[in-house]
């Protein structure tokens, strides 16, 4: 278990804005993803845990062992913290072969144990035939696997991964995700992974921490995150949500686009209130006739080809993912159905 409660303040300068990191969270065994835009403080958080950055206040614990405590003046050196770190730029020593990079990270182990672990990890990450190559002779995916192997060789108590799939193509991203999931099953230790790629986040996370402006603004499982992003700000940060402002007519009736329709159970609201609700594009339907909870569209859609569907954007947050056969069968008169079950109330 990793427990983090730290702050770090950077004052504004002549050419830079100030920044205030205030991170409070726990991460158990499994993959906890720090998701958010660039500059939100995700990498800075990993650097605080690893000991590369000293927080101003707070405490960091790993399995009840104090890594940092500002009040008690405890600040363990990075090499004593038991954290494996996979950097964005791989950080393999360019003057060492891949095998030598792993050996350097395992220098504190007995010789036979060191050789055994190096051999096991090279084999596990399909790097045995590349062990004698220098980093410049490796592909991005090979360097990334080598970087992960080096981080694991000392059997860390926690693994920190800073955008491990950055710069990799779709095939290598899928391969890397499989590697991370395999590590999760075998290590049973906390893994903190930084990303601003939602697809990667949802593919491998057990828990997602949404980070914005230096703080965790929402915590969820991947499935719950898609079903209920919490607030409008989080939904916009995630992307992929249609967000509507509606007028409350009753507990489960709303006015949207000027017409009355069924809505979600709007708790804590009064008639006449205006609240935000959201729905995902795949939950909406394109239909050829009017009916309940259907909005007539008269504009031409902007079309985006997707692997299994067509994404049609009619503007005004009317974005719908349409199966290809349904798109081919649509008529000139088009309505978009917004099922009440697809709408979720968002916190203001």
Distance of CA 228 to the CA centre of its chain: 16
Residue 4: which pLDDT band, with cuts at 50, 70 and 90? very high
Cα–Cα dist 97/117, whole Å: 16
Measured in degrees and rounded to the nearest 5, phi and psi for residue 190 equal -65, 135
Burial status of residue 261 (CB atoms within 10 A of its CB: 0-12, 13-18, 19 or more):
buried
What letter does residue 301 receive in the DSSP assignment? P
Cα–Cα dist 296/145, whole Å: 51
Q: Residue 338: which of 266, 269, 263, 275 has the closest Cα?
A: 263
* pLDDT per residue as tens digits for the range 134-145: 999 998 888 888
Q: Which residues, listed in sequence order, are joined to residue 6 by a DSSP beta bridge?
A: 23, 58
Measured in degrees and rounded to the nearest 5, phi and psi for residue 143 equal -65, -35
Higher pLDDT, 49 or 64: 49
Write down the H helix ranges in 78-169.
98-105, 111-124, 140-152
* pLDDT per residue as tens digits for the range 182-214: 888 888 899 999 998 888 888 889 999 999 999
Cα–Cα dist 104/146, whole Å: 13
Per the CB < 8 A criterion, the answer to whether 263 and 252 are in contact is yes
Measured in degrees and rounded to the nearest 5, phi and psi for residue 261 equal -160, 170
At the fourth CATH level, the homologous superfamily of domain 2-229 is P-loop containing nucleotide triphosphate hydrolases (3.40.50.300)
* pLDDT per residue as tens digits for the range 81-107: 999 998 888 888 999 999 999 998 888
Residue boundaries of the structural domains of the chain: 2-229, 235-346
Instruction: Report the pLDDT averaged over residues 238-258.
Output: 91
Higher pLDDT, 44 or 145: 44
Q: Residue 213: which of 5, 16, 18 has the closest Cα?
A: 18
* pLDDT per residue as tens digits for the range 283-328: 999 998 899 999 999 888 898 988 788 999 999 899 999 988 888 8
């Amino acid at each position: 278990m990793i427990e983090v409660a730290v702050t770090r303040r950077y004052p504004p300068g002549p050419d830079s804005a100030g920044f205030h990191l205030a991170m409070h969270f726990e991460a158990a065994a499994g993959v906890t993803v720090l998701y958010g835009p660039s500059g939100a403080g995700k990498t800075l958080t990993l650097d605080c845990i690893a000991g590369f950055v000293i927080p101003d206040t707070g405490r960091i614990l790993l399995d009840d062992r104090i890594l940092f405590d500002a009040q008690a003046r405890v600040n363990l050196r990075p090499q004593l913290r038991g954290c494996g770190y996979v950097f964005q730029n791989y950080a393999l020593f360019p003057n060492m072969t891949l095998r030598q990079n792993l050996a350097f990270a395992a220098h504190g182990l007995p010789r036979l144990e060191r050789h055994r672990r190096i051999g096991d990890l090279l084999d596990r990450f399909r790097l045995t035939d590349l062990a004698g190559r220098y980093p410049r002779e490796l592909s991005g995916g090979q360097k990334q696997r080598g970087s992960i192997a080096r981080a694991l060789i000392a059997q860390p108590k926690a693994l920190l991964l800073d955008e491990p799939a950055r710069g990799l193509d779709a095939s290598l991203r899928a391969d890397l995700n499989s590697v991370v999931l395999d590590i999760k099953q075998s290590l049973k230790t906390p893994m903190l992974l930084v990303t601003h790629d939602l697809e990667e986040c949802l593919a491998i996370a057990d828990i997602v921490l949404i980070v914005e402006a230096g703080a965790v603004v929402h915590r969820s499982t991947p499935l719950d995150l898609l079903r209920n992003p919490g607030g409008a700000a989080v939904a916009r940060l995630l992307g992929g949500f249609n967000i509507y402002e509606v007028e409350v007519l009753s507990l489960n009736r709303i006015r949207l686009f000027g017409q009355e329709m069924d809505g979600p159970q709007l708790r804590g609201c009064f008639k006449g209130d205006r609240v935000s609700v959201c729905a995902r594009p795949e939950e909406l339907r394109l239909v050829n006739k009017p009916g309940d909870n259907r909005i007539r569209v008269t504009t031409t859609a902007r079309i985006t080809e997707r692997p299994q569907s067509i994404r049609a954007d009619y503007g005004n947050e009317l974005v719908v993912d349409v199966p290809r056969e349904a798109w081919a069968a649509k008529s000139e008169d088009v309505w978009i159905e917004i099922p009440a079950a697809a709408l979720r109330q968002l916190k203001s």
